[in-house]
Amino acid sequence: MWEIEIDVDGVLADMDGAYGHYVNHIIPNFNEEEHILNWGMPEVSAKYPEAFEIIKSLWTNPAFFTSLNTYPKVKEAIIKLGKIANNNANVVIHTHVFDGEGVYEKRYEWLETLKHETGVNFKTEISQGNIKSTRTNTDILIEDNVTNLYKSNAKYKILIRRGHNRSFNENDLGDAQQKFVVKDFYEAVEKIENILELKKV
């Protein structure tokens, strides 16, 4: 049975799109396209240190994780993936949270709500600490983090295009049988459908 691993923030949950509510008083009309140019937001850190400190504080704020919206068509894509993966692959949603009281629990609740809303009984894995753990039995990996894709030994790697990874392409994702860059999770699921269909041949 194949394993499909899916990241959360930047893939399913619109974390970058949620920052504006908290920092608009410092950076008017804060948005991903204009302000999140690289991983870790070094430009924001240098130019707006106060805003960057607020953003960092959100990463250990349980209420912030509860409030995150999914990207458009994410739920439809998960339902589609559930049908595609049936009897062909296990779906594992693997995310990472920093240490902070209640953060793990709220992220778990968020994913349980998503599971209930989609009716797809995916497996949940949540790593904690400073660095996301790397799974070794993943066949297809969907991520927005180029480093996580590069470190993975997945056979197929799919990068979701976001502001912070705009300067990267397929050649930056490390070894794999096939690598893709897509605009959103729904397109990633369409790629997975093609991969699994070819696997049957």
Same domain, 10 and 88: yes
Residue 90, C-beta contacts closer than 8 angstroms, at least 6 positions apart: 1, 2, 3, 4, 123
Q: For the residues 1-12, what does the mean pLDDT come to?
A: 96
| 131, 57: one domain | no
Model confidence pLDDT, tens digit, residues 144-197: 999 999 999 999 999 999 999 999 999 999 999 999 999 999 999 999 999 998
Boundary (domain end) residue, out of 66, 88, 104: 66
Do residues 138 and 40 share a domain?
A: no
Cα 24 from Cα 27, distance rounded (Å) = 5
pLDDT tier at 201 (50, 70, 90 boundaries)? very low
93 and 109 share one domain: yes
How far apart are the C-alpha atoms of 143 and 179, rounded to whole Å?
Answer: 12
Q: Which of these three, 46, 66, 86, is where a domain ends?
A: 66
* Same domain as 24, residue 80: no
pLDDT interval class at 200 (50, 70, 90): low
3-state secondary structure the chain: CEEEEECCECCCECCHHHCHHHHCCCCCCCCHHHHCCCCCCHHHHHHCHHHHHHHHHHCCCHHHHHHCCECCCHHHHHHHHHHHHCCCEEEEEEEEECCCCCHHHHHHHHHHHHHHHHCCCCEEEEEECCCCCCCCCCCEEEECCHHHHHHCCCCEEEEECCHHHCCCCHHHCCCCCEEEEECCHHHHHHHHHHHHHHHHC
Same domain, 152 and 193: yes
Look up the pTM and report it: 0.95
Tell whether 10 and 20 lie within a shared domain: no
Provide the domain limits for residue 21.
16-66
